[in-house]
Copies of this chain bind each other. A is one copy, B any other.
Amino acid sequence: MQNRARVLIDCKDSKGLVYNVSKVFYDLDLNIDHNREFVDKENSKFFMRTVVTGKFDVDKLFKELEAITPKDAIIKIIEPKRKKIVIMATKESHCLGDILIRWESGELDADIEAVVANHKDLQSLTHRFNIPFNYISADNLSREEHEQKVISTLKDIDFDYIVLAKYMRILSSDFVDRFKWRIINIHHSFLPAFIGANPYKQAHSRGVKIIGATAHFVTSDLDEGPIISQDVIPVNHYYNWRDMQKAGKDVEKIVLSKALSLVLNDRVFINQNKTVVF
- A residues bordering B, Cβ < 8 Å? 15-16, 18-19, 22-23, 25-26, 31-32, 35, 37-42, 92-94, 97-98, 100-102, 104-105, 107, 125, 128-129, 190-194, 206-210, 212, 226-232, 234, 236-238, 240, 246, 249-250, 254, 257-258, 271, 273-277
A207 CA to B129 CA, complexed, in Å: 36
> Which of A22, A37, A107, A191 has its CB near the most chain B CB atoms (within 10 A)?
A22
A93 CA to B104 CA, complexed, in Å: 9
Grouping DSSP codes into helix (H, G, I), strand (E, B) and loop, the A interface class, with mixed when no group exceeds half, is mixed
The 7 sampled A-B contact pairs (Cβ below 8 Å) are A19-B19, A38-B237, A40-B237, A94-B102, A207-B273, A208-B230, A210-B231
Is there contact, CB below 8 Å, between A18 and B38? no
Is there contact, CB below 8 Å, between B97 and A101? yes
- Please give, as numbers and ranges, the residues of chain B lying within 8 Å of A209 by CB-CB distance: 227-230, 277
Q: Please tell me which one of the listed residues B23, B227, B277 contacts residue A206 in the complex, with CB atoms under 8 A apart.
A: B227
A208 CA to B225 CA, complexed, in Å: 11
* Chain B residue with the shortest CB-CB distance to A269: B237
Is there contact, CB below 8 Å, between A210 and B192? no
- Please give, as numbers and ranges, the residues of chain B lying within 8 Å of A41 by CB-CB distance: 240
